[in-house]
Amino acid sequence: MYKGGYTGKILRINLTDKTIKEEPLLPKTAKDYIGGAGFCIKYLYDEVKAGADPIGPDNKLIFASGPFSGTKIPCASRMAVGGKSPLTNAVGLALTGGHFPVELKFAGYDALIIEGKAAKPTYIWIKDGEVKFRSAKNLWGLKTTDCQQIIKNELKDQNVRIACIGPAGENLSKIACIINEMRAAGRKGLGAVMGSKNLKAIAVRGTAALAIADKEKLKGARKEMTTAMKNSPVLYSHFAKMGTSGIMDAMCALGIFPTKNFSATGEFAPVDELGEEMQKTRNVGSESCYGCPVGCSQLKMARTTPYQGILSEGPEFESLYSFGGVTGVDNIDSVIAADRLADELGLDTISAGVTIAFAMELYEKGILTTKDTEGLDLHFGNHETMLVLLRMMAFREGIGDLLADGSKAMAEKIGKGTGKLAMHVKGLELPGYDVRGAKAHGLNYATSYTGADHNRGYAPQEIFGIPVPYAVDRFVAEGKGKLTKWNQDVRTATCDAPTMCGFLLDMALIGSAPQNTASLMKAVTGLEYTSDDIVKVGERINNLARAFNVREGFTREDDTLPERLMAEPLKDGASKGQCISKEDLKLMLDEYYMERGWDNTGVPTREKLVELGLEIVADDLACK
């Protein structure tokens, strides 16, 4: 039985009949899944039936923090948000930080499960265990910052923490996200799930203290962690000053910063225009999540017309890619403006930018014309059009309606063989690494249960040259199945579940993360784990997520990459000549499935599921 870290309560809210129910957090659920992503996937598998409509009332929207959130552990104000993705029809899981995750814990809950659909636009007000339904009629149509401010004014409390959707979520864009403060649960279209429930926002305020199992043990475990953070050669010296955007120069140097819809990676590398030195001229401050001593989130202000004066918390590296490199845009101020606008509209910056880049390539090839675009010039690099398209996508106006559901849906509507140019896996647009030059990273894109997602199994061994658990050659396919399993399981168990900022794993804790998590879990919750036990939790979560997708009809054929990455070697740069051939992918998938204990079709075996305590899942899938 846990003795601290958890509130011990799950809040279940049904919007259809306006019922509110508190349920106990079962000790076995806490022990086997820890929290965060583990709780989201556990409830999602148990409660969302196969074939459920992602934007229907039977889908669930789950918010779950972990046992570290609300403690004195640094960089632990994180939260997982889950549901069946309307973009992919697979597991939809997004991570976010800020202050909302901790506030939900202080309000008394380890997780919040939203069910059904409200009859009218609604927002939920949660304060120290008291839940109220309030009208969102006057909030519908508002951008996210305006929505949050009006709710704070209405509740007469500027310290209320709010998660909300913008117009994109209201209009059921499948690339809509959920915004809390200016942080985003950004990917997989969970904003559309929230919008489909007529739920504009969730406001939370809490004052409860969180129990700790052993405060002295926590001091010791925390000191070990903070010492590792201080000893990191990059965490405070570089990352705290630049955030994720500081890696753009390095990705260009590796030849893997994707440009012009992945058609010009290595050829067009706008370091001078978008890189670190230019970014420094736009930095005006930084923001921190609750309890974070790093403060990596950089505030940037545009300096030139027509964007002068626009302030954004970012752009992070992924937005520099999605509104810069992949669209062929090299105007830093337009990228800042697009980043801010996407947050205000509630659009996932990665999917939005990659979909616009797809449209730009189709325009340059003559597949889309000015007749289709209502006169808009969609050539690569046209930043004015990029900003216009974002608004049109959020409101489903004109050609924006074609782009609003992402690149896969767009290709299916256009036809003409355009699918081979759509840069997605399982419907989720690719993040900002051209994996032709980083093959384990590519295998992660192919196998992640959410689709192409750098957060699931980031490969720091290839991206940063970190030799843990061992050094690798980023161009070699052999051995990447084993490495990808390790990356996915360790990140899930030490970051996504407890919940902890994933940047710490790569920059300070990668060599000690499982033991660090085990020590912190003992101190905070009283639950006993070895480092191997911790990794096993990650394996259990990843297998359960895979089972959800198998139940939805996903097969080995879906564990693939865009044709361009397998058929077109990079033409220039430090990764020139590289691609992930079909033979490479087959080799890596065979090895990955073997390491995971899955059959050759990618289905977990009964033996593996039983080993992980998932016998019921084995029965569901009729595994052999």
Q: In 10 A of CB 379, how many CB atoms?
A: 11
Which CATH code of 3.60.9.10, 3.40.718.10, 3.30.420.40, 2.60.40.60 fits the domain covering 9-205? 3.60.9.10
Cβ atoms of 65 and 171 closer than 8 Å: no
Q: What is the pLDDT of residue 624?
A: 62
What is the signed CA dihedral for 157, 336, 315, 313, rounded to 10 degrees? -20
Q: Where are the alpha helices (DSSP H) in 374-451?
A: 383-395, 400-403, 406-414, 439-447
At 75 the pLDDT is: 93
Half-sphere exposure of 397 (CA within 13 A, CB side): 9
Q: Where are the domains of the chain?
A: 9-205, 245-423, 435-561+581-621
Q: Are 468 and 512 in contact (CB under 8 A)?
A: no
Domain 435-561+581-621: give its CATH code.
1.10.599.10
Alpha carbons 472 and 460: distance in angstroms, whole number: 10
Structure-block tokens of residue 233: 């050669």
What pTM does this model have?
A: 0.97
* Token pair in block for residue 180: 């809390």
Helix or strand run (H / E) with residue 288: none
- The amino acid occupying position 623 is C
Q: Can you list the residues of the chain whose pLDDT is less than 70?
A: 623-624
The pLDDT assigned to 182 comes to: 85
Query: What CATH number labels 245-423?
Result: 1.10.569.10
Confidence at residue 623, expressed as pLDDT on a 0 to 100 scale: 66
Do residues 533 and 525 make contact, with C-beta atoms less than 8 angstroms apart? Answer: no
Helix, strand, coil percentages (3-state) for the chain, rounded to 5, are 45, 15, 40
Q: Residue 508 burial by CB count (10 A; 0-12/13-18/19+): exposed, middle or buried?
A: buried
User: Cβ distance 392 to 399 under 8 Å?
Assistant: yes
Q: What is the pLDDT of residue 568?
A: 98
Residue 495 to residue 507: CA distance in whole angstroms: 13
Question: What pLDDT was estimated at residue 504?
Answer: 82
pLDDT recorded at residue 96: 96
For residue 622, the model assigns a pLDDT of: 83
What DSSP line would sit under 518-535, residue for residue? HHHHHHHH-----HHHHH
Q: Peptide bond before 315: cis, by omega within 30 degrees of 0? A: yes
